[in-house]
Copies of this chain bind each other. A is one copy, B any other.
Amino acid sequence: MRIECIAIGTELLTTRRVDTNSVWLGERLASMGLGFGRKTVVGDSREDLAGLFREALGRSDLILTTGGLGPTFDDFTKELFAEILGADLAEDAGSRADMMTFYAARNRVPPQVNFKQALIPVGAEPLRNPVGTAPGIWWLDPPGHPGVRIVMLPGVPREMKRMWEEQVEPRLRPLAGKAVHTLRMVVAGVPESNLDERTQVVRQQHGHLDWTILANLSQVELLARGPDPAALEAARTDFKPVLGTDLVSVGDGNLEDAVLDLLKARGETLAVAESMSGGLLASRLTAIPGASAAFLGGAIVYTVKAKAAFLGLDPSWLRTVGTVSEACASAMAEAARQRLGATWGLGICGNAGPGTEGGAPVGTTFIVLAGPDGTVVRSPTLAGDRAEVQLRSTALALDLLRRQMLLLG
């Protein structure tokens, strides 16, 4: 079934209002195993809308519109569809009664312009609006388009949502797709293009699945979708050897979840000391419920004073080795680990920019993992602006710990 969404409203083309309706509708459709093939946002222009409606009628089985059902001069979704399809409009007594009740409850009389909202294309059904005055439209088999369904919903999110849940979803349920299952594999420490190349052959072997690669600064996701859970399970089995230890997790979790899960499984704990990343590493970990079972705490040591006060590092020694150095990151990691009695300590220092710091170019990064058997160091030069460098440094730190735990088995 080909489904498209048309969000109508000039304001949705500006920055004044963002179309969130179609995102919500996409989520509801996905829960029914359905999904959009296309979403369009278009202004209140008769010509643009008429062109788009004609195109949609030619290519889609289910057309969802939001907006343009109101009483004002720039609302004409219903009228335009009726015109294109050669259908008349007729007043629906129930919709008119609903409107009178709505206004009576507020001790008001409907403005004259509002009555056009009770006009419904002949052959279509009105969808009652329990929280507003504009009824929606359910139009099955419109003239010349057997099998097509047009669903017109109000643009006001709470009216749209209620109408969808109570009246549209039940009508669509018989069409619900076979549930679509997803296999999500999270990979870290590998660029997107490398992952693409490495997995090309095995993806082709599972070419009946629908594949997507999504990368962010922290991790890459490989997503497969298909109706058959066994096919997804087979793909998972075949991908394991290809991804090796680059595979962070399978399922909903992200890099930080995987690290916390590994720590908990091993009965180990982590303390951090952050200079350049300024609390972002701790924040990513503590965003996960239950983090405190493995994450003990951290020191954000943005200044020499803080490095001395929270970690006991010697200010004159720090000035000698420099606060952007492997020695500094190493001392930070070890001090955090020892002060909290943690299994692992992670220290991050460097220069996130925008200016150079102590002669270190932007992106200079030192990450040290201190553990029971000594330290492991990463000292990459990270690309990007301040926010990117900070985020990348925390991803590398998390992945360093993850790999070290895997290595120890």
Q: Hey, which bits of chain A sit against chain B, CB under 8 A?
A: 10-11, 13-18, 23, 26-27, 30, 35-43, 45, 48, 51-52, 55, 59, 70-74, 105-106, 108, 110-114, 131, 133, 158, 191-194, 196-197, 200, 210-214, 223, 271-272, 274, 277-283, 285-287, 289, 291-292, 295-303, 305-307, 309-310, 339-341, 353-355, 383-388, 390
Contact = CB atoms under 8 A, between A and B. Distances in A.
A253 to B, nearest CB: 15
Contacts of A194: 111
Instruction: State the 8 A-B residue pairs at the shortest beta-carbon distance, nearest first.
Output: A278-B286, A297-B306, A279-B282, A279-B279, A279-B283, A298-B300, A39-B41, A309-B339
B111 A196 contact: yes
A38 B16 contact: no
| Copies of this chain, count | 2
A212 B113 contact: no
A18 B23 contact: yes
23 contacts: A16-B212, A38-B40, A38-B48, A39-B40, A71-B196, A73-B200, A74-B213, A111-B196, A112-B197, A158-B388, A274-B279, A278-B282, A279-B282, A282-B283, A282-B300, A289-B355, A289-B386, A296-B302, A297-B299, A297-B310, A305-B340, A310-B310, A310-B339
- Among A15, A35, A114, A386, max chain B CB count under 10 A is at A15
A55 B51 CA distance: 10
Nearest to A303: B296
